[in-house]
Chain A
Amino acid sequence: MYEFDWSSIRPGLPFLWKGMKVTLYITLVAMAAGIALGTVLAILRMAKNRALAWLSAAYVNTFRSIPLVMVILWFFLLLPAVIERIFSISRQEDTRLTTALVTFSLFQAAYYAEIIRAGIQSVKSGQMGAALALGMTNGQAMRLVVLPQAFRNMAPLLLTQTIILFQDSSLVYVASLADFFGVAGIIGTRDGRQVELYLFAGAVYFVACFILSSLVKRWQNRLKGHA
């Protein structure tokens, strides 16, 4: 039988926390940027302008049909050079974190966009008509009437997607960026305690995601109660 040896975890906690901060950073930035871009994509998708609608659909469908692992590999191949130029930072900077942030923001935007589109459609027709009748422009009606309601309805879904994003961010592993899981791997490899560290990482992810998703579920039920 396997003899567990958990002695690597306690001294490794500060390092693991550093990795967790990278994970959280990627999650939060990609959530904010992803929802912003996702909203734009969702509105464009419903635009009267055919070309814009098509572009938005192409963007969303492309990202949704490629495995995240391949997307990460693609972006780590292409992005570093572009980032250096845009932000004119020197070669010495480690651009891996920035690359990861951009990758996850763009990738998640495609998933958020679909949720937001459904949310908008769920409030759109009657409300839009009423707002327009009140003399609002299309943009005003969208901004002041439709979007606030849509976001309220779909907030739980957006959060659920964010929990998925939190889990998916572990895939920066393929670009050897030291997020929470990456650090667990580094410590496990260094001390020959991979089994313990992988179990520990799994437990931490489970507890965090379980609590979050339970909260989301409760919120969702409350929203349903109101409606």
Chain B
Amino acid sequence: MRTRLLAALLACWAALPVAGAAELTGTLKKIKDSGVISLGHRESSVPFSYYDDKQQVVGYSRDLQQKVVEAVKKELNLPNLQVKYTPVTSQNRIPLIQNGTVDLECGSTTNNLERQKQVDFTTTLFVVGTRLLTKKDSGVKDFADLKGKNVVTTAGTTSERLIRAMNDEKKMGMNIISAKDHGESFLTLESGRAVAFMMDDALLAGERAKARKQDEWVILGTAQSKEAYGCMLPKGDAAFKKLADGAIAAALKTEGEAIFKKWFQSPIPPKGVNLGLPLSDDMKELYKSPNDKAFQ
């Protein structure tokens, strides 16, 4: 709204839109006209989207994002398509899609109905459950054991809302710490400020890999919710969504398990640790029949 007001006020500066190529609309037209696609990525969402030591964006979601870029190149017949990378955070990722700074964001963003009011999501990349990371000898076996303890989670996530609601409803008397990002959450856990860290299990595996002694930590507890990660793209851009959906679905069917193995069951950059996450039933199902459904 505000942006539109300013746009109107300052219209004298605006460059006239370039007369369009036939048929193309929305994002695809913008990409064709400018020869540039703008990709959103995370900086430290291991192993979905993060920087390696050469400051290249790597990760599971990044690999699938690349499939979409290939498809765009082919569709628009643009072999020299330039790719622009914009790092996003959990706070600014939705506004950046909405205002057109980013054409496609692939990281660890949950597809849910609330967000669907603001952006569209592609075919699901990954399915996670929200669980707990804790020390093996902490005595915590499930959520019920957290009564009266310090628990950490990352601000602005589904887990934060779930655990706050649980705390209120069941009067568990937990002290909930909301850290700024997953790395800070894990630091809070590892340094002993909290006994458990609630988050999506795949991200917990990514954080556990940073520990000095990986095998001291376990992921456990009943999953409090299922989350479907998808790439975000601008709302209501059917042509772009169809292209992206198709590219991701094809990749998941043919090489989904191989990409999974590469990021979750093999040594990954920058330190060559292995996350050792087993392939879940939900993931097997997803690779068999890719879809873009949200769980909530």
Contact = CB atoms under 8 A, between A and B. Distances in A.
Interface of A: 3, 5, 11-12, 14-15, 18, 81-82, 85-86, 88, 90-94, 176, 178, 186, 188-195
B184 A194 contact: yes
B89 interface: yes
Contacts of B270: 11, 190-191
Given A15-B55, A81-B6, A189 B183 contact: yes
Nearest to A13: B53
Contacts of A18: 55
B155 interface: no
Given A192-B183, A192-B211, A11 B53 contact: yes
Contacts of A81: 2-3, 6-7
Contact of A190 (B51, B86, B211): B51
A90 B34 contact: yes
Given A92-B34, A92-B103, 17 more contacts: A5-B212, A14-B55, A81-B3, A81-B7, A85-B13, A85-B14, A88-B13, A88-B14, A88-B15, A92-B38, A176-B92, A186-B51, A188-B183, A190-B50, A192-B183, A192-B211, A194-B183
Given A11-B270, A186-B51, A190-B46, A94 B210 contact: no
A92 B44 contact: no
B92 to A, nearest CB: 7
Interface of B: 2-3, 6-7, 10, 13-15, 30, 34, 36, 38, 43-44, 46, 50-51, 53-55, 84, 86-87, 89, 91-92, 99-101, 103, 181-184, 186-187, 190, 207, 210-212, 270-271
Closest 3 CB pairs of A and B: A192-B210, A189-B183, A85-B10
Contacts, number: 81
B258 to A, nearest CB: 24
Given A85-B14, A91-B100, A176-B89, A190 B7 contact: no
Given A178-B87, A192-B207, A94 B101 contact: yes
Contacts of A86: 10, 13
B77 to A, nearest CB: 20
Q: Chain A binding site: helix, strand, loop or mixed by DSSP?
A: helix
B7 A92 contact: no
Contacts of A186: 43-44, 51
A12 B53 contact: yes
A71 B116 CA distance: 32
Contacts of B207: 192
A15 B183 CA distance: 18
Contact of B43 (A92, A190, A191): A190
A178 B51 CA distance: 12
A92 B46 contact: no
Contact of A192 (B7, B10, B103, B187): B187
A191 B183 CA distance: 8
A91 B10 contact: no
A15 B269 CA distance: 15
Nearest to A14: B55
Contacts of A193: 210
B44 A190 contact: yes
A153 B13 CA distance: 42
B186 A192 contact: yes
Nearest to A5: B212
A1 to B, nearest CB: 13
A82 B89 CA distance: 22
Given A90-B34, A92-B34, A189 B184 contact: yes
B32 to A, nearest CB: 13
A94 B3 CA distance: 16
Contact of B44 (A11, A189, A195): A189
A92 B51 contact: no
B86 A85 contact: no
Task: Indicate the member of A18, A188, A190, A195 with the most B CB atoms within 10 Å.
Answer: A190
Task: Indicate the member of B15, B43, B91, B207 with the most A CB atoms within 10 Å.
Answer: B43
A191 B2 contact: no
Given A86-B10, A91-B101, A92-B101, A189 B181 contact: yes
A82 B212 CA distance: 47
B264 to A, nearest CB: 17
Nearest to B103: A92
Given A190-B43, A190-B183, A15 B53 contact: yes
Nearest to B36: A92
A66 to B, nearest CB: 21
Task: Indicate the member of A5, A90, A178, A192 with the most B CB atoms within 10 Å.
Answer: A192
A192 B190 contact: yes
A94 B99 CA distance: 12
